[in-house]
Amino acid sequence: MINNDLNTFLLNQGVSEKLLDEVKKFKDFYDLDTSIENRVPILKYKYYGAKTWEKAISAILDGNHILLSGPKATGKNVLSENLAALFGRPLWTISLNVSSDSSSLIGSDTFRNNEVVLKKGPVYQAAEYGGFAVFDEINMAKNESLSVVYSALDFRRVLDVPGYDKLDLHEATRFIGTMNYGYIGTRELNEALVSRFMIVDVPTIVENDLKTILTENFTLKTEYVDLFTKLFLDLQSKSLNSEISSKSVDLRGLFASIGSMKKGLSIYDSLDMGIVDKSFDAYEKEIVGDVIKTLFSPKLKSEDLFER
């Protein structure tokens, strides 16, 4: 998608025109170094969800950093990219894990021309160029390793790198944390960190938006757009009722399954890979498999699903 279409898309979604006007002012006001122009994302997917958009946009306009918190595959990374594209800022994404430390965030010493210099890490570059930096899966990191960015995240807006000059953040710099509650390996974020973000709750997709995404990304016949939507919503409600875990409620998996069907693999085999076998519990697989069988007849072939 051409990023210029994003504005029209958001207006159609119902995002406030006033907010979008302010975004335009922001974009016109802050320059962009040509050397990092290629870091402004070119979007493959649009994020659907007007309320979430409005929360994120207003927080960013007001100078805040945001923490996107929500279940898996709700589009947190898609939204992060969309935000950078909308504001026209370069994006750095840092995947956090237990061994993330200050050098992977800010940078480390390196030798150049017999001199020790800083090899700038993603946080440093985002700070310098007015970029958006995503702390992806922020609750996978150890709390201590993030303390080096506290001063950047609060009103001080400064990176203090031991042994080097301190760096004031470019005015356009914003940090975006993403987190998924309850994934294995996640930690409780400490209050000092959470307090430095505005929290944007990212909900699971609503029926109409899901239908639109399926229609736009696959050449499915309308009746099957409806059926896949029903499949996803049925699994989701079973999970909310604690009949199954959330493992099979996987939009990413559903999209990938439809992709396999498009390549010609059978509907059941495709859904096994993307949905059913995401769970390793025999009883749960059976429930999920039953939901699929009630919606998709065994006689239905993959090629029947798509417009030619």
Q: Which is nearer to Mg ion, 70 or 130 (CB)?
A: 70
Structure tokens at 60: 């960013």
Q: Which is nearer to ligand ATP, 37 or 207 (CB)?
A: 207
Rg (CA), the chain: 22
Q: Which is nearer to Mg ion, 79 or 261 (CB)?
A: 79
Residue 73 in the binding site for ligand ATP (CB under 6 A): yes
Name the residues that contact Mg ion, by CB under 5 A.
Answer: 76-77
**Contact status, residue 3 vs residue 47, Cβ threshold 8 Å:** no
Residue 121 in the binding site for ligand ATP (CB under 6 A): no
* Residues 251-280 within binding reach of ligand ATP (CB under 6 A): 251-252, 255
Instruction: Please give the size of the binding site for ligand ATP, defined by CB under 6 A.
Output: 19
Count the alpha carbons within 13 Å of 163 in the hemisphere toward its beta carbon.
9
Residue 74 in the binding site for ligand ATP (CB under 6 A): yes
Q: At closest approach, how far in Å is the CB of 43 from ligand ATP?
A: 11
Residue 77 in the binding site for ligand ATP (CB under 6 A): yes
Instruction: Dump the DSSP string for 58-121.
Output: HHHHTT--EEEE-STTSSHHHHHHHHHHHHT--EEEEE--TT--HHHHTEEEEEETTEEEEEE-
Q: Which is nearer to ligand ATP, 236 or 302 (CB)?
A: 236
Structure tokens at 103: 């050098």
Q: Which does 229 bind (CB under 5 to 8 A by kind): ligand ATP, Mg ion, none?
A: none
Residue 76 in the binding site for ligand ATP (CB under 6 A): yes
Span of 2-10, 32-40, 76-84, 227-235 interacting with ligand ATP by CB under 6 A: 76-84
Closest by Cα among 236, 273, 239, 278 to 258 = 273
**Contact status, residue 261 vs residue 305, Cβ threshold 8 Å:** yes
Residue 53 in the binding site for ligand ATP (CB under 6 A): no
Q: At closest approach, how far in Å is the CB of 77 from Mg ion?
A: 4
Closest by Cα among 99, 81, 98 to 90 = 81
For residue 234, the one-letter residue type is D
**Can you tell me the distance from the alpha carbon of 82 to that of 86, in angstroms, rounded to the nearest whole number?**
6
Residue among 10, 172, 213, 292 that touches ligand ATP (CB under 6 A): 213
Residues that bind ligand ATP (CB under 6 A): 45, 47-49, 72-78, 178, 180, 205, 209, 213, 251-252, 255
